[in-house]
Structure 1
Amino acid sequence: MRTIEEINDKIRHKKAVVCTVEELKDRVAESSVAKVAKQVDVIATGTFEPMESTGATINLGHTDPPIKIRQCWLDGVPAYAGLGAVDLYIGATAMADDVGTGEVDGELRPRSAIQRGGGHVIEDLIAGKPIQLRARGQVTDCYPRASFETTIARDTINQFYLFNPRNLYQNFIVGVNGGDRPLFTYLGPLYPQLANAVYSNPGEISPLFNDPDLELVGIGTRIFLGGGIGYVAWEGTQHFPLQKRLPNRTPIGPAATLSLIGDAKQMDARWVRGCYFQNYGPSLMLGVGVPFPVLQEAVVERCAVRDKEIVAPVVDFSIPRRVRPTFGLVSYAQLKSGRITIEGRTVRAAPLASIALSRQVAKELKGWIEAGTFTLTEPVASIPRDRAFLPQDSWGAQITLDS
């Protein structure tokens, strides 16, 4: 029906018809796939959810005399320094290991009381706030300096970009706790005796549920990332496109993931939020939006999928193993009702993702496209669709047997 270049020409002339994915689903329900495909040029999807496999690359610029940094802390949070002399990488889940102070409710308190981590440092840098840096160097003839302390900010460093190994899970699990004590997990607290259920994916509005076979998203796809422009860089870690799927091609559990990159200096701290999970650790909430060009009717057909047609597995975290027992599958329509049924009993369910902010990401992306400031890109390569998921313990067993 259309090409990306034809759509981009309409975007540049502000004539493109853009819908959020929710608006598109409603249009299809009121009309038909064929009619909507003729009317709409671009579909905007979005999510705002925890994405802990996220981090930032930072280049400080050289000091005088120069230093070859080998240990570094940003506001007490360790950054990886095993790169170039003044290149750093700080992960969202890095935990503060340095005692210091910070402001809580207008008072200075021990930093340990703030539960601060890498995600908070990244958020503050994006917001333009000052960050204390402390570094130790390896003394060499060309890098004679042994230590360095300063204050940095977004505008006093060179490169500052997010490079995220794993974002945008295509689907995920629902966590419950069938045991007899509270569990503190990456999904938040799970209370004993199936007292609550937590899910992290926003369901039908989530980007990759609407492109189940990754036919539109590829390496080089331009996206909304943290309030700025980003790109799909590669397949994400733990990418598992071979997950079992329903007839509509949506996966029944964790499946495809993407690696994303974008200039953090252009981002907005509204969409990059440090967070902390009780007794688990720091993480980061991230807004990601993906545009889908309506190249043919099949694009609209896939994006018309509803919450009642997609499912997630209910997993019992009380069993401390890699493979945990499940209580079967539930639809996202059931999850979003606030109640699911497990073995005949009603269990409260709540999302870890913000449904409201996920919708807002899609709306902001739609606005960019309608304003002509965001055009689409042709992927330079496809995301692999044949990756198996390899657990580490099987390799260890094989090595032991071979040796």
Structure 2
Amino acid sequence: MKRTLEEINAKIRSGKAVVFTAEEVVGLVKEKGVKKAAEQVDVVTTGTFGPMCSSGAYFNIPQSTPKIKIGGGTVSVNGVHAYGGWAAADFCLGATALPPEDPRNEVYPGLFKYGGAHVIEDLVSGKKVKVKIQAHGTDCYPRKEYQAEYGLKDFNNAVLFNPRNAYQLYNVAVNLSDRTIYTYMGVLKPRLGNANYSTAGALSPLLNDPKLATVGIGTRLFFGGSEGYVAWNGTQHVAEPERDEKDLPLSPSATIALIGDLTRMSPRYLRGTSVTGYGVSLSVGVGLPIPIVNEDIMAHAAVSDEDITFPIVDYSEDYPLGRSANLGRISIAELMTGRIQVDAKKIPAGCMASRARAREIALLLKKLVQEGEFLLTRPVAPLPGATLAEM
């Protein structure tokens, strides 16, 4: 069975496309087999929602009178450091940026209360933020100090650009040391006191197209509550990871860089997140529609929680010393029970991503495709290590 992207988009335009979420299609394939499922389904939708530290936004401000040059000066937004080294009126705000003073919560000292991610959430929530600029002044940009309040619509441009999102596979984090450690994977208790992971499992976008056969540069996807695009491979992208017999990666692997119009996004799918003892991050909602152009794509899109296994990593040694403790692998299905066995010990397991919100994204994207409001795009180039399917 083969179908083209044009055939799928024609069905989407006519309201006749058959769309399943990545969770729904698992049962269909078990019931009918890959061949019949591929003949029936046109599109499979995926979703994920969790902290993605490598995120941020860039802005262009309306110029003051007299004009001011941000480049070479300093800029802050609601007290949070931003980067102004691009040009006269452009600045970039990273999700993990913090204010210069102690940003921790007075009641809970380990909890960072406000950073770049929270500024982004404030803006998409309709709030105004205070931008402060200090500059050295030039003949064409003589002003040296400026501050103003901006809402999202007040900027000339506001763009979410995330260099690394939607990790295809990541670690299950544990702690073998004798002290509690505070990491981007959350609080890890000593002596294998708990395990933390972050994934949407069978809904996860890049796990449902593990060889990146339908996703590449230029792919349109759901991003932060609106549409966005794959701009490039993400930082730390691994082009040729070791794979299992189902083509699933066995270690942290593919990532994607995403871009979209921040003014069209929603705080439901962009949330500032405080990571205790570590800092702040931006929880991002991403949903990828997968065109079922052949049976191989269907087989991969029917990945289940039982199929996906994660490496268990000791973060007291691997970070920062770089030594690896071989603690085995564990499936998402086992992790989702809330307790797992590591080194002959039963320990609680917690997820930093929201499976419920990921499911919501997959269902919302399904609805948009069914109603003809979300057409699929052909990538203009493959991601490193990938070969695009004939579409």
- The TM-score with structure 2 as length reference comes to 0.94
Per-residue CA distance 1:268-326 (angstroms, 9 max, x = gap): 11000001111100101000000000101111111112122221111111223134323
C-alpha displacement at 1:138, in angstroms? 2.4
Alpha-carbon contact 1:289-1:365 (below 8 Å) kept: yes
- Please say if 1:166 is aligned against 2:164: yes
Q: CA deviation at 1:98?
A: 4.9
Cα RMSD after superposing both structures: 1.9
Tell me the CA shift for residue 31 of structure 1.
Answer: 1.5
Match of 1:396?
Answer: none
Structure-1 residue corresponding to 2:226: 228
Aligned to 2:389: none
**Does the 8 A contact of 2:220 with 2:230 survive in 1?**
yes
Runs of 4+ displaced beyond 6 Å: none
Q: The residue matched to 2:45 in structure 1 has which SS?
A: strand
Percent of residue pairs bearing the same amino acid type: 45
| Aligned 1:230-379 pairs, distance under 5 A | 230-319=228-317, 320-379=320-379
- Following superposition, the deviation at residue 114 of structure 1 comes to 6.3
User: Quick check: 2:112–2:276 contact (8 Å CA) kept in 1?
Assistant: no
Aligned residue number for residue 99 of structure 2: 96
Asked if the contact 2:224–2:285 (Cα under 8 Å) also holds between the matched residues in 1, the reply is: yes
Give CA deviations for 1:327-384 in whole Å, capped at 9, x if unaligned: 1111111111112111111111111110100100101111111111110000000001
Secondary structure of the 1:25 match is: helix
Between the aligned partners of 2:338 and 2:345, the Cα distance in structure 1 is: 14
Conserved in 2, the CA contact under 8 Å of 1:224 and 1:289?
Answer: yes
Cα contact 1:308–1:332 (8 A) shared by 2: yes
User: Match for residue 117 of structure 1?
Assistant: 115
> 3-state SS of the aligned residue for 1:88?
strand
Please give the per-residue CA displacement for 1:381-403, whole angstroms capped at 9, x wherever unaligned.
000118xxxxxxxxxxxxxxxxx
Aligned partner of 1:189: which letter? Answer: V
Stretches of structure 1 that go unaligned for 5 or more consecutive residues are 387-403
Residue number in structure 2 paired with 1:35: 36
Amino acid corresponding to residue 384 of structure 1 in structure 2: P
> What corresponds to 1:383 in structure 2?
383
In structure 1, C-alpha distance between the alignment counterparts of 2:172 and 2:219, rounded to whole Å: 29
Report the secondary structure of 1:94's partner residue. Answer: coil
CA distance in 2, matches of 1:47, 1:269: 15
Secondary structure of residue in 1 paired with 2:263: helix
1:205 is the counterpart of 2:206: no
2 CA distance for matches of 1:266 and 1:66? 28
Using the alignment, how far apart are the partners of 2:85 and 2:98 within structure 1? 18
Q: Deviations over 1:164-205 (max 9, x none)?
A: 100010000000011111111001100011110000112111
Question: Cα deviations across residues 26-59 of structure 1 (Å, max 9, x unaligned)?
Answer: 1111221111111111100000011000000111
Q: Distance in 2 between matches of 1:184 and 1:243?
A: 28
- Matches of 1:301 and 1:6, distance apart in 2: 20
**Deviation larger for 139-148 or 326-335:** 326-335
Q: Residue 136 of structure 1 is aligned with which of 134, 137, 144?
A: 134
Instruction: Write the distance in 2 (CA, Å) between the matches of 1:249 and 1:13.
Output: 34
Q: Which segment is superposed worse, 284-293 or 31-40? A: 31-40
Conserved 8 A contact 2:15-2:372: yes
Contact persistence 1:77–1:98 (CA under 8 A): no
CA distance in structure 1 between the aligned counterparts of 2:327 and 2:112, rounded to whole angstroms: 36
Q: Is residue 221–residue 379 contact of structure 1 (8 Å, CA) maintained in 2?
A: yes
Q: Deviations over 1:220-253 (max 9, x none)?
A: 0000000000000000000013221111111111
Q: Is the 8 A contact 2:35 2:295 kept in 1?
A: yes
Structure 1 pair 99–191 and aligned structure 2 pair: CA distance change class (3 A): closer
The number of residue pairs the alignment matches comes to 380
Q: Which structure 2 residue ranges, 5 or more long, are not aligned? A: 387-391
Please say if residues 181 and 187 of structure 2, whose CA atoms lie closer than 8 Å, have aligned partners that are also in contact.
yes
Equivalents in 1 of 2:326, 2:90: separation in Å?
43
Displacement of 1:130 in angstroms is: 0.7
Aligned to 2:55: 54
AA matched with 2:77: L
Amino acid in the other structure paired with 1:376: L
Other structure's SS at 1:308 match: coil
| Contact 1:202 1:351 (C-alpha < 8 Å) held by counterparts | no
Alpha-carbon contact 2:46-2:362 (below 8 Å) kept: yes
3-state SS of paired residue (1:333): helix
SS of residue matched to 1:31: helix
Partner of residue 23, structure 2: 22
Deviates more, 1:349-358 or 1:112-121: 112-121
- CA deviations over 1:68-98 (Å, ceiling 9, x no partner): 0121110010111000111011010001225
